[in-house]
Chains A and B, each alone.
Chain A
Amino acid sequence: MDRLAAEDMVMFVNAATTSTGQREFHSQAAEQRASLEFLHEYVAGNYRDLYAAVLALDINDLNAALITRRLLATSAEATPEQRAVEGRLIARRLAVMPPQRVYDLFHDLRRAGVNNRRTRAIIRDWLAARPDQAFDAVKYRQGLKRALRHAHVTPSRVAPALHDELGTFLFGGVAPRFRTPLLESWRRAHYEQAAIYDLPYTVAEGFAAKHGVDRSVFLAKIKPNLTRLESLRLRESANTDVDLAAMPLTRLATYVLSLPFADRVARRTELTAALRAAAVRTAGRNAGQWGRVAAVLDDSFSSYGSGVKRRRPLAVAVAGHYLLEALAAEYVPLWTSGATDPLMAHPRGTTPLGHRVLDALSHDPDRLLIISDGWDNSPPGLAGEVLRVWRTRLDPDRRVSATHLNPVYDAGDYDVKRLTPEVPTVGVRNAEDLPALVEFARFTEGRTGFADLSAHFTDRVTRFLETS
């Protein structure tokens, strides 16, 4: 029973890390959604405590929102103690989630008719804790409005600093002018072009279109208001200055892979330096501590992902490559296509994972890492066989640690695709989480019990709540 529970939880964590409910290479968005829906229902029904504790792990925002929603919708089933812990976990998680996703979650709660006292209190506290309510009112106008309505909160209660102007701003009424500068800019932006450059980019864009402002003029002037991601996205069209090295590693890899080959060649030094710097920053104290590392990295055609998750699996592999390079003392990367230049990575060809694993083992590493979606097809299942025979016959003492990191959720199996039971497989969303995931991998081997896993969860929850 314990073993089953541990397996279920590991499966759920893998799913919550990888699945974003979007189309993947091998499955449609609807299949992903349905599969995830079932898994959430199953885990929430059977292991409510652990289900809530997963909020403390490195899961993705969609699943964090789904968990929160389900916990709030089923408040009646929880004991008072459970509710106290859940409340703190939810509050902490919402605090670290991007605001647009939280507003979406509140909208979902409203549509689902979830409006118990706990939900209203959580919405109220989150809104009150926002650093700048005027900014939220301008940028997330609809979201904020809905949230206030749904939680029955008076606007002045969440934003006392705004001199009671939030209510007027959101819900109408006569206001010749606002005392809050941002709200006043928004009012003036309706008829004055100069005022739109005080607003956030997404809002200003609408006003610019309304006034018919030339796109290049608009982009040049709005530059200071861009967020970090917006400036990365507009780098080519608006010529923004982006500190690439300060970007999160996987995001940077996605950006590099989105560039045409000619640009990657022309900017090779700059891009490589940025990737290396980001990797070293991510590695932190662990840099150079991992000994000899051999990595099998998947750049087969399926690493293209899908139109909505473009080149995501490949980006994780590229980011993983640079991170492992920083972590290892001696590093051998082996791409499935046989390519040697990670900057020019391109999803193409079959997945001869088995042969690459053999190549990797022949370098006699201390650690073997495989970043692949697990669709081993040339020949199918060879990687699993090679790893099995190697584990049972050639390395029974587990001298070499081997981990398979899988960026793709397999909707049919309710888990990420495994190569063999002999080697642990964990889901990966961002390459930055790689060291933590390699730690977590021991639970997926079936050699540790439920008690260990439970202790690990408690530990993570304590640390998660302390950092608030």
Chain B
Amino acid sequence: MATLDLTGLTALPAQVWGAVRLVPLVRDRPVPGLRLHARLYGDEVGVVDLPDNTAYTAYIPHGFVATWSDSPAATYGTHLAPPTPTSTVRLRFHRRMARREERNRLRFLPLHLAVEGYLALHFNGPTVLWDEWSQRAIRRGLSPRAEQAYTGAQIEGLADALKIFEIHPDQCGVALYVADALAAAFVVPHPDDYRALHGTLLLDMYGELIHHYALLSTPVPAFHAFVDDTHVRSLADLRLAATRQSTEWATFHTTTMAAGLLDATYDIRRVYRAGRFTLSRFLPGFRPKEENHIGELITDQRGRTAYLKTFRLSESQIRRGHLLNTLATHDWHLATAAESLGTTPEAFGQRLTKAGFGHLLNPHTLATHRTRSHLTTP
């Protein structure tokens, strides 16, 4: 378990449009030796072959290509895919989530890498064959495991907010808030990369929570500057007060607004090593009723973030992760797991069913549990 290290990135004042608040993150100097560019795939359904013989199927509109070298590199440029007829649903097959294309070039599917990590959580199902589990759970694990998300284009007002956003010349990232809930954080190594990839925020996916917030929220207010004029005697005082606004905002953003992302600890797993950079994905602690972000990051040899992309889980997704984690820590023993949550096996079974894992449970054994609890309670 580790936290995210955003050293070198400073938050600048937010820009607000409707319910969307965009906080630019700037670097004093870009991360040397790593560049990213976008690759667009079009509207086909993407199928990704994974190394463990499972397949990940999703709408994958774009991918990122990371190029690394020891010397500073120029951005590679974007590629447009040729138009394809849309009368049928086309499939596009990708091999692996992250795949090396050349000696120093890596193609990966942004966010899908992280989401696949979440979907694969305890994917193999019960590790001990307790008789509460159905034959299907024992034979096939959690397969097929599915989650839904919205593309950025479906998030009300996001397209306009991204269009009118004024990109800072040194900007290397953005924290995206919808109705002041942190929806996503996005960090790249170089300002030119950010400029090229700003629009891909619209192709990314966002959870149900964010979609609903954007739909229902009233416009959020901007944090207007305020200068206390009681102690201003000269222009220098005024300048000092103005500068203080910026530093105060940066502190406020890190300690309050983005605290849910930055203070939490994550289970970070390495996916690929590219030179001195490491591509990893991370899962949160799945604490219910709190902010939980999954995501992926590229770090340099000192552990500083060169690339970061996060996805905020909605409440039901957190609950599913929480239940699976609880089961796994108790070797999938229903009664012990239920006890650790302070509930009965029967109620725990109901919770699993409500979370969409009903097919894992053996209905016969559950019925036995129910009868037994009826007999014991007078």
Q: List residues of chain A with CB under 8 Å of any chain B CB.
A: 25-26, 300-302, 337, 348-351, 354-355, 358, 361-362, 377-382, 384-386, 388-390, 392-394
B225 touches A379 (CB 8 A): yes
- Knowing A348-B169, A354-B242, A389-B229 are in contact, say whether A381-B164 is a contact too (CB < 8 A): no
A-B contact pairs, 16 of them (CB 8 A): A25-B164, A302-B164, A350-B167, A358-B235, A358-B238, A378-B12, A379-B223, A379-B224, A379-B249, A381-B224, A382-B242, A385-B224, A385-B225, A385-B227, A385-B242, A388-B229
Confirm or deny: B173 has a beta carbon within 8 angstroms of a beta carbon on chain A: no
Q: Which residue of A lies closest to B13 (CB)?
A: A379
Q: Which residue of A lies closest to B245 (CB)?
A: A379
- Knowing A25-B164, A379-B245 are in contact, say whether A358-B239 is a contact too (CB < 8 A): yes
Confirm or deny: B234 has a beta carbon within 8 angstroms of a beta carbon on chain A: yes
A361-B224 Cα distance, complex, nearest whole Å: 21
A350 touches B229 (CB 8 A): no
Which residues in A have their C-beta under 8 angstroms from that of B13? 377-380
Which residues in B have their C-beta under 8 angstroms from that of A351? 166
Q: Which residue of A lies closest to B236 (CB)?
A: A362
B238 touches A350 (CB 8 A): no
Confirm or deny: B222 has a beta carbon within 8 angstroms of a beta carbon on chain A: yes
Which residues in A have their C-beta under 8 angstroms from that of B246? 379
> A345: shortest Cβ distance to chain B, in Å?
15
Q: Which residue of A lies closest to B231 (CB)?
A: A393
> A352: shortest Cβ distance to chain B, in Å?
9
A381 touches B222 (CB 8 A): yes
Which residues in A have their C-beta under 8 angstroms from that of B234? 394
> A303: shortest Cβ distance to chain B, in Å?
10
Enumerate B307-344 residues with CB–CB distance to A below 8 Å.
none
Enumerate B187-239 residues with CB–CB distance to A below 8 Å.
222-227, 229, 232-235, 238-239
> A312: shortest Cβ distance to chain B, in Å?
16
Q: Mark B145-188, 1 if CB is under 8 A from A, else 0.
A: 00000000000000000001011110000000000000000000
Residue of B164, B224, B227, B233 near A386 (CB, 8 A) is B227
A351-B235 Cα distance, complex, nearest whole Å: 21
Confirm or deny: B15 has a beta carbon within 8 angstroms of a beta carbon on chain A: yes
Interface size on B, residues (CB 8 A): 29
Which residues in A have their C-beta under 8 angstroms from that of B16? 380
> B56: shortest Cβ distance to chain A, in Å?
37
Chain A at the B interface: mostly helix, strand, loop or mixed?
Answer: helix
Which residues in B have their C-beta under 8 angstroms from that of A348? 167, 169
| Nearest 6 A/B pairs, CB to CB | A379-B13, A381-B224, A382-B225, A301-B166, A389-B229, A385-B227
B166 touches A385 (CB 8 A): no
Which residues in A have their C-beta under 8 angstroms from that of B227? 382, 385-386, 388-389
Residue of B14, B166, B224, B245 near A300 (CB, 8 A) is B166
> A83: shortest Cβ distance to chain B, in Å?
45
A386-B236 Cα distance, complex, nearest whole Å: 12
B223 touches A349 (CB 8 A): no
A349-B229 Cα distance, complex, nearest whole Å: 29
A392-B238 Cα distance, complex, nearest whole Å: 12
B164 touches A358 (CB 8 A): no
Which residues in A have their C-beta under 8 angstroms from that of B241? 389
A382 touches B245 (CB 8 A): yes
A361 touches B235 (CB 8 A): yes
Residue of A300, A302, A386 near B242 (CB, 8 A) is A386
B168 touches A350 (CB 8 A): yes
A382-B167 Cα distance, complex, nearest whole Å: 18
A427-B170 Cα distance, complex, nearest whole Å: 32
> B164: shortest Cβ distance to chain A, in Å?
6
> A449: shortest Cβ distance to chain B, in Å?
28
Q: Which residue of B lies closest to A301 (CB)?
A: B166
Q: Which residue of B lies closest to A358 (CB)?
A: B239
Which residues in B have their C-beta under 8 angstroms from that of A337? 169
A393 touches B229 (CB 8 A): yes
Identify 7 new A-B residue pairs, CB closer than 8 A, beyond the known A301-B167, A348-B167.
Answer: A355-B242, A358-B235, A358-B242, A362-B235, A385-B227, A392-B229, A394-B238
A355-B242 Cα distance, complex, nearest whole Å: 8
A221-B70 Cα distance, complex, nearest whole Å: 60
Which residues in B have their C-beta under 8 angstroms from that of A386? 227, 238, 242
Residue of A25, A26, A390 near B238 (CB, 8 A) is A390
- Knowing A348-B169, A350-B168 are in contact, say whether A380-B238 is a contact too (CB < 8 A): no
> A117: shortest Cβ distance to chain B, in Å?
48
A355-B238 Cα distance, complex, nearest whole Å: 10
> B101: shortest Cβ distance to chain A, in Å?
33
> A347: shortest Cβ distance to chain B, in Å?
9
> A148: shortest Cβ distance to chain B, in Å?
46
Which residues in B have their C-beta under 8 angstroms from that of A301? 166-167
A377-B164 Cα distance, complex, nearest whole Å: 12
B232 touches A394 (CB 8 A): yes
Which residues in B have their C-beta under 8 angstroms from that of A361? 235
Which residues in A have their C-beta under 8 angstroms from that of B224? 379-381, 385
A349 touches B222 (CB 8 A): no
> A411: shortest Cβ distance to chain B, in Å?
14
Which residues in A have their C-beta under 8 angstroms from that of B222? 377, 380-381
Which residues in A have their C-beta under 8 angstroms from that of B24? 350
> B31: shortest Cβ distance to chain A, in Å?
21
Which residues in B have their C-beta under 8 angstroms from that of A362? 235, 239
Q: Mark B4-42, 1 if CB is under 8 A from A, else 0.
A: 000000001111100000001000000000000000000
> B302: shortest Cβ distance to chain A, in Å?
30
B164 touches A26 (CB 8 A): yes
A350 touches B12 (CB 8 A): yes
The interface centre, meaning the residue of A301, A350, A388 with most chain B CB atoms within 10 A of its CB, is A350
Which residues in B have their C-beta under 8 angstroms from that of A358? 235, 238-239, 242
A198-B222 Cα distance, complex, nearest whole Å: 60
> A397: shortest Cβ distance to chain B, in Å?
16
Enumerate B232-280 residues with CB–CB distance to A below 8 Å.
232-235, 238-239, 241-242, 245-246, 249
A378-B15 Cα distance, complex, nearest whole Å: 8
Residue of A25, A377, A385 near B15 (CB, 8 A) is A377
Which residues in B have their C-beta under 8 angstroms from that of A300? 166
> A314: shortest Cβ distance to chain B, in Å?
13
The interface centre, meaning the residue of A379, A384, A388, A389 with most chain B CB atoms within 10 A of its CB, is A379
A354-B14 Cα distance, complex, nearest whole Å: 15
Which residues in A have their C-beta under 8 angstroms from that of B238? 358, 386, 389-390, 394
B166 touches A377 (CB 8 A): yes
> A56: shortest Cβ distance to chain B, in Å?
36
- Knowing A378-B13, A393-B232 are in contact, say whether A350-B166 is a contact too (CB < 8 A): yes
A354-B244 Cα distance, complex, nearest whole Å: 13
Q: Which residue of B lies closest to A338 (CB)?
A: B169
A225-B16 Cα distance, complex, nearest whole Å: 50
A108-B299 Cα distance, complex, nearest whole Å: 63
A349 touches B225 (CB 8 A): no
Q: Which residue of A lies closest to B195 (CB)?
A: A348
A366-B166 Cα distance, complex, nearest whole Å: 32
A351-B223 Cα distance, complex, nearest whole Å: 15
Q: Which residue of B lies closest to A28 (CB)?
A: B160
Which residues in A have their C-beta under 8 angstroms from that of B12? 350, 378
Which residues in A have their C-beta under 8 angstroms from that of B225? 354, 379-382, 384-385
A25-B12 Cα distance, complex, nearest whole Å: 22
